[in-house]
Structure formats: structure tokens, C-alpha cells
Amino acid sequence: MTQTITSPLDIKAIRADFPILDQEVHPGKRLVFLDSAASSQKPQQVSDAMSQYNQHEHANIHRGIHVLSERATNAYEAARDKVRAFINAQSRREIIYVRNATEGINLVVATWGRHNLGPGDVVVLTEMEHHANIVPWQILQAERGFTIKYIPITDTGELDLDTYARFLREGAVKIVSVVQVSNVLGTVNPVADMISQAHAAGALFMVDGAQSVPHLSVDVQALDADFLAFSAHKMGGPTGIGILYGKRALLEAMPPYQGGGDMIKRVTFAGSTWNDLPHKFEAGTPAIAEGVGLGAAVDYLTNLGMDRVLAHERIVVDYALDRLSEVPGLILFGPDPGKRNGVATFALRDIHAHDVAQLLDAEGVAVRAGHHCAMPLHERLGVPATARASFYVYNTLEEVDALINALYHVRKTYGL
């Protein structure tokens, strides 16, 4: 087993933290979970932190006078501090709890966007965006009448940066919003350079970190990102909670997102004033236990070390790309190893991706099939659907081998 020599992580110990992985999903077929880009599994530490909270600390947060309310507030706010440190934000006021990356992007579009965009303005996105970073802009576009330009991708699945530079030169770009790691191609985009170019052109920059924050060290100050959105459930945390990071000055100037409790300072029948950051953007009772779970997930990843997480995943992904390319009739999408992370997306001859996924499932191998919420990208790739294997801290090279063996089963079923 080469992996114990090369991986910087103790995978055996890690897998013991994820009891869900240790199961038979069909008679005689062990689970091989290769769908973490859709939603990762949770370590026991996260489930325990949430149970501890639910069993001993739960009450509504903020303003409660009694002991439990104080405990709940502390637990929830401590998680915010963990997230601040994890992405190296300057202030905890810049960490806004949302439901997921999708809501984080929608918040920016609905508040900053509605306040700042109008006819003549340009928003720059890319052809490899997830629907979450396309549709909110299109909804606002119908209302405000600005222009959206999409940075094309090259045939190797990388961004065409010459066209990006041209878009910026053409002027009127108010904001650029780009996925840091593509959920389909695995491309790691050079966001640090792209951000400095955007700033030089007077534009803001939002990073969709849904597939990057769980897998590599993201430092918002080093990147100089204006906004960053990500979800807890792709990084070992629970569903229903995510983070929007925004630079404080920008967040201060933005109107609120939703109105309600907790986001106000003073309410009268004549009008209201807004609470301080981050609460201005956090109307209503939030997902408190989930916030605590996110904090535990951050602790878990921090203990592993994000550099080691990335190094381990690179080993697994590179091995997967290598072995997949041996399978006759298999087409791989995305750039060369070294320029990508997290996922291996493929098609097997002209067999529909759903058939491939179903037959892989029969062997216990869980992959995603479809357009992965990136229909425009699939149109660009010229395929209706693809199959995607995605990897996380608990995946092994043996699981890659299981995927390959199962793919040979698919070939056999189809008489190839």
C-alpha cells in the first residue's frame, strides 16, 4: 500500500472518525463514498459537538438572560471566531452566518448588487460557474438592466485570462464573481492574480469558495477578496449553515438582506435602524446547533492541517486521473493534474452518466451523475451529463481502485 508512505495524513485514524463510511450498501458491497463535492460526511467530533449542544446548552441566542441562553450564545459565537481564524479575516464582524454558499452569493447580489448595479454596468462571471453564481445575477439583471460577461474556458478547462483582461480594459466592470475551484472540472483558478487585476480596474471581487475552503488553505486577507462564500456541509460540517465573508467597509455600506429579529437596533412604527455587523445580516433565529457543528468541523480540519489535507487529496486525485485514463473509452474533463483538485469528472463512451452511476452504485461506489448544477458549462463541453468522482480527507487509493474495477463492470454490462 503506497499510500501510507506518501500521504501526510493518518487515513486509518481519520476513517475511524467517520463511522458512516464503514458499511455495506448492497449485499457483499462495501461503501466507497466518492461524492464529497456534493456533500461531505461528518466526523464523529461534529456530531458529538452538536449533540452536546442540543442535550446541554440549547436555548435561543442573544439577549436571553438565563444560563442556557448564555451558553448557547457563547457556543454559537465561539464558532464564528473559529471561522474567522480559519479564513484569516481581520474581524469577527466580517463573518456572516448564512444557510450555505448559495445564500451567501444571493445576499451580496440582493444587497450590494441591487444598491450598486444599473444600466451600463458590467458583472463578470465565468463559463465554469455553478448555477448559484449565475442565476442570482440573472434575476437581478432582469430588474436592474446591467450586462453580464462570461470569461470563456479553454479546451483544457482553464479560464481564458486574456479575455478576462480585455473585459476589464473595456471598462464599466463593477464586480467579478468567480469560483475558486470548479465543482465539475476541478480547475483551481488563479483568484489571487485575478483579484489584483479586478482591483486595478476598480472592480470588486467575490470568490465562490464552496469547493476551495474545504480543501485548501484560504486566506481572505492574503487574497484581498472582497467577498467569499462557502458551505459547512462540504467541509465535514452540517447542512443548513454556511458563511459569507465580506470586507467590513463594504458590509457597513450595504443595506440589510432580510428584516426581522436580531438584525435591528431600534424599531418604531415610523422606521427602524440596523444592528451592528454581523447581526445586521442575520435576521431571525439561526441554525444554532449547525453553527456549533461548523465550529467543530473547523477544529477538525485545523487539527489535520489544511496543507496536509491538500497534499493528501492531490495524491488521491492524481492517482484517480492516472487510473481513469487507463480505462478504454473513458473521456476525462478538466485540466492536467497539478492545475486541479478535488474531483475527477468523466464520461464512459456514449453511456449516459446516470447509467454509469447506477451501475457503479451496484458495486457500492457512490458518484454523482448529471450536470452538477452547471448546465451552461456542460453545453460548452458538448455533453448532456457527466459522472463525477470527488474525494476528501477519508478517501484512499484502494477506493480509487474500487472505482476503476466497477467501471470495468459497467463496460462489461454494456458489452464493451
Partner 1 sequence: MDLYMENILDHGQNPRNFGEPLDPADIHYHDDNPFCGDRLFLTAQLDESGHIKAVRWQGEGCTISKASASILGEEIIGKTLDEVKHIDKEQLLDMLGIHLSPTRLKCALLSLKVLKAGAYGLSDETFVMDEDE
- Size of site (CB under 8 A) for partner 1: 17
Looking at beta carbons only, is 258 or 413 nearer to partner 1? Answer: 413
Q: If binding is defined by CB under 8 A, does position 354 make contact with partner 1? A: yes
Determine which residue in the list 82, 385, 401, 404 makes contact with partner 1, applying CB under 8 A: 385
d(CA 339, CA 309): 16
Determine which residue in the list 90, 273, 358, 405 makes contact with partner 1, applying CB under 8 A: 358
Provide the minimum distance between the beta carbon of 356 and partner 1 in the complex, in angstroms, as a whole number.
9
Which grid cell is 205?
A: 471581487
Q: Which stretch binds partner 1 (CB under 8 A): 4-12, 223-231, 270-278, 349-357?
A: 349-357
Provide the minimum distance between the beta carbon of 355 and partner 1 in the complex, in angstroms, as a whole number.
5
Q: Which stretch binds partner 1 (CB under 8 A): 40-48, 57-65, 304-312, 363-371?
A: 363-371
Q: If binding is defined by CB under 8 A, does position 372 make contact with partner 1? A: no
Determine which residue in the list 92, 160, 337, 414 makes contact with partner 1, applying CB under 8 A: 414
Q: Is residue 245 classed exposed, middle or buried when 0-12, 13-18 and 19+ CB atoms within 10 A define those classes? A: buried
Determine which residue in the list 378, 390, 393, 407 makes contact with partner 1, applying CB under 8 A: 378
Q: If binding is defined by CB under 8 A, does position 384 make contact with partner 1? A: yes
Determine which residue in the list 3, 351, 401, 404 makes contact with partner 1, applying CB under 8 A: 351
Provide the minimum distance between the beta carbon of 182 and partner 1 in the complex, in angstroms, as a whole number.
19
Q: What is each CA distance from 269 to 258, 266, 272, 274, in whole angstroms?
A: 18, 10, 8, 14
d(CA 235, CA 37): 9
Of 161, 172, 310, 373, the catalytic one is 373
Provide the minimum distance between the beta carbon of 393 and partner 1 in the complex, in angstroms, as a whole number.
28
Determine which residue in the list 132, 289, 359, 360 makes contact with partner 1, applying CB under 8 A: 359
Determine which residue in the list 32, 89, 353, 387 makes contact with partner 1, applying CB under 8 A: 353
Q: If binding is defined by CB under 8 A, does position 221 make contact with partner 1? A: no
d(CA 253, CA 147): 23
Provide the minimum distance between the beta carbon of 413 and partner 1 in the complex, in angstroms, as a whole number.
5
Phi/psi at 117 (5° precision): -110, 140
Instruction: Indicate the helix (H) or strand (E) that contains 66.
Output: none
Provide the minimum distance between the beta carbon of 31 and partner 1 in the complex, in angstroms, as a whole number.
17
The region, left, alpha or beta by phi > 0 then psi within -120 to 50, assigned to residue 305 is left
Determine which residue in the list 355, 376, 380, 404 makes contact with partner 1, applying CB under 8 A: 355
Q: What is the DSSP string of 281-326?
A: G--S---HHHHHHHHHHHHHHHHH-HHHHHHHHHHHHHHHHHHHTT
Looking at beta carbons only, is 121 or 355 nearer to partner 1? Answer: 355
Looking at beta carbons only, is 244 or 360 nearer to partner 1? Answer: 360
d(CA 7, CA 58): 39
Determine which residue in the list 114, 308, 323, 352 makes contact with partner 1, applying CB under 8 A: 352
Angle at 373 between CA 368 and CA 376, to 5 degrees: 125
Q: What is each CA distance from 212 to 182, 219, 306, 308, in whole angstroms?
A: 9, 11, 11, 14
- Give the single-character DSSP code of 1: -
SS3 content of the chain, % helix, strand, coil (to 5): 45, 20, 35
d(CA 241, CA 6): 34
d(CA 216, CA 74): 28
d(CA 187, CA 180): 8
Q: Which stretch binds partner 1 (CB under 8 A): 12-20, 122-130, 190-198, 368-376?
A: 368-376
Q: If binding is defined by CB under 8 A, does position 265 make contact with partner 1? A: no
Q: Is 373 a catalytic residue?
A: yes
Residues that bind partner 1 (CB under 8 A): 351-355, 358-359, 362, 369-371, 375, 378, 384-385, 413-414
Q: Which residues are catalytic?
A: 373
